[in-house]
Amino acid sequence: MTKKQPINSSKMLPVELDEGKNLSINPTKEFIVAESNQCVSCGLCLPHCPTYRLLKSEADSPRGRIALMQGVMRDKIPLNARFVMHMDRCLSCRACEAACPNHVAFGNLMDSTRAVIAQQSDDALQIKETGSMFMLKQWLITHPVRIERLRRLFYWLQRIGFLKWLGKSELLKKNAIWNLVVQLPVVEFPVSKMTENSYKVGDRWLEVYPARGQERGAVGLFLGCIARLTDVTTLNASIFILNQLGYVVHVPSRQTCCGAIHQHAGDRDCAMALARQNRSVFAELGVEVVLSAASGCGVQLVEENNADCYRVMDISQFLLTAQGWEDIELKSLEKKVLIHDPCSLRHVLNGHGFVYELMAHIPGIQIIPLPDNDQCCGAAGMYFINQPEIAQQLLDAKISAVQEKRGAYLLTSNIGCAMHLATGLRNRGIDLEVLHPVTLLARQMGLEL
Ligand code: SF4
Ligand code: SF4
């Protein structure tokens, strides 16, 4: 075991969004015209846009999409199926927003435009949604407790190999929910009791996990929705590390989905209702910080957080600035570790640097950023289901980069990216573990995960 170097909190960079930007989406033609007027058509965003790079079409570039939005909202061109297609092809990765010298709020524009499309009475123009996708969004994701109830069922279906066997069915492969189910990582259970370097599990998370040793503060932990089934290891690792550092971790059972999937699909009302519930639940805790271990959810929580009483942070940023490291020892890891930057962490939260800084504290580690890390992997919420061809091309490029760099692990801070990348690796026959950075950190702290 090697004594860990103290983490230097003075290096902390705050996660800040452009001050003065109206972050609330506004599905009115006036707002979309006014915001799109900020675009001066310079084209500096084009080389950063994954769909423009792939499709080589102006209509699938940020500048082209903004021009189309302007045309439609000014009633100069019709809101037709072709317009919807170019909007649907956008990943909402916001690489264009990060590159724009004029600070055009592209994510906001796109969500507002999708909400306008969703309001259309003409069924032919609306986002096509299969029955199973509707069920996934409205019945399951908005009620994460139902996801928790399915955990034991999926656990046993995985254990007896039933899901793998069903996964071979060509008929089921066309089903949106089924596509998610076959990608499920091994189902794990929430921690119910922590010991020094192991834990016991139960069917649900506890409301509060007490700090070990000297208490240094209290935080809230956001669970997400699908992550309760797919990313339990990351959430358990987060609780372990925070407790070891001396932080009480509150995991309120009334928290719900962040609403990002609904917002990107144009369902603003549902996204706002979910945000309101999360705000009220976390505000009641009296904690100053709420942590997210999935950067896709983190963006939504940050942008929807108008509560003055707490701040939302990505777990890596918090850990980098947390106290208590002087009492922690990290095992050495003499291996090459690849890091994929999720778009949400890199382009919106500007927080990808925290991951590299945090991982650099593991003695012996060799950190390799994936080439083209500013490009989306194609997961993008439900994009990999709705636009499978583009998503697959983006994924292929990532897997080729992984093959070229040859690491012992692939780290990413967003569960959507992790599942998508793991599927790509599996399909190419590459045996490489995809982990959240905190899971690797917890292992190096001695937790048996
Ligand atoms: S959000 Fe991403 S895919 Fe959409 S226009 Fe911007 S860079 Fe392109
Ligand atoms: S960089 Fe900004 S201003 Fe320039 S074309 Fe892109 S969105 Fe418009």
Distance CA 344, CA 412 (A): 11
Is there a shared CATH topology between the 2-8+327-444 domain and the 29-125 domain? no
CATH architecture of the domain with range 29-125: Orthogonal Bundle (1.10)
**Residue minimizing CA distance to atom 5 of ligand 1:** 62
pLDDT at 131 exceeding the cut of 80 = no
Ligand sitting nearest the alpha carbon of 105 = 2
What is the separation of C-alpha 283 from the centre of its chain, rounded to a whole number of angstroms? 22
- Token pair 């002087």 is found at 326
pLDDT tens, 415-447? 999 999 999 998 899 999 999 999 999 999 999
Distance CA 165, CA 151 (A): 19
- Which has the closest alpha carbon to 39: 89, 101, 93, 84? 101
Q: How many residues does the chain have?
A: 449
pLDDT at 4 exceeding the cut of 70 = no
Q: Which of 32, 102, 106, 110 to mutate to test the pocket of ligand 2 (most atoms within 8 A of CB)?
A: 102
- What confidence category does residue 130 fall into, taking pLDDT thresholds of 50, 70 and 90? low
Ligand sitting nearest the alpha carbon of 102 = 2
- Token pair 């069915």 is found at 169
pLDDT tens, 381-415? 989 988 999 999 999 999 999 999 999 999 999 99
Q: What's residue 75's pLDDT? A: 94
Q: Does residue 109 line the site of ligand 2, with CB under 6 A?
A: no
The total of other beta-carbon atoms located within 10 Å of residue 118's CB is 17
Whole-model pTM?
0.89
| Pocket around ligand 1 at a 6 A CB cut-off | 48-51, 62, 65, 90-96, 106
| Mean pLDDT of the residues in the chain | 88
Q: Does residue 47 line the site of ligand 2, with CB under 6 A?
A: no
pLDDT at 11 exceeding the cut of 80 = no
Ligand sitting nearest the alpha carbon of 111 = 1
Q: What's residue 100's pLDDT? A: 97
Distance CA 106, CA 348 (A): 11
Fold entry, domain 2-8+327-444: Rossmann fold (3.40.50)
Distance CA 239, CA 206 (A): 11
Distance CA 221, CA 389 (A): 35
Distance CA 77, CA 32 (A): 15
Ligand sitting nearest the alpha carbon of 37 = 2
Which atom number of ligand 2 is nearest to the Cα of residue 40? 3
State the distance from the centre of ligand 2 to the C-alpha of 36, rounded, in angstroms.
Answer: 9
Share of the chain above pLDDT 90, in %: 68
State the distance from the centre of ligand 2 to the C-alpha of 341, rounded, in angstroms.
Answer: 23
Domain ranges of the chain: 2-8+327-444, 29-125, 131-182
pLDDT tens, 240-281? 999 999 999 999 999 999 999 988 888 888 999 999 999 999
Q: Which of 46, 54, 90, 348 to mutate to test the pocket of ligand 1 (most atoms within 8 A of CB)?
A: 90
Q: Answer whether 296's CB lies under 8 Å from 418's CB.
A: no
State the distance from the centre of ligand 2 to the C-alpha of 102, rounded, in angstroms.
Answer: 7
State the distance from the centre of ligand 1 to the C-alpha of 50, rounded, in angstroms.
Answer: 7
Provide the greatest CA pair distance for the chain.
67
What is the separation of C-alpha 330 from the centre of its chain, rounded to a whole number of angstroms? 27
State the distance from the centre of ligand 1 to the C-alpha of 108, rounded, in angstroms.
Answer: 12
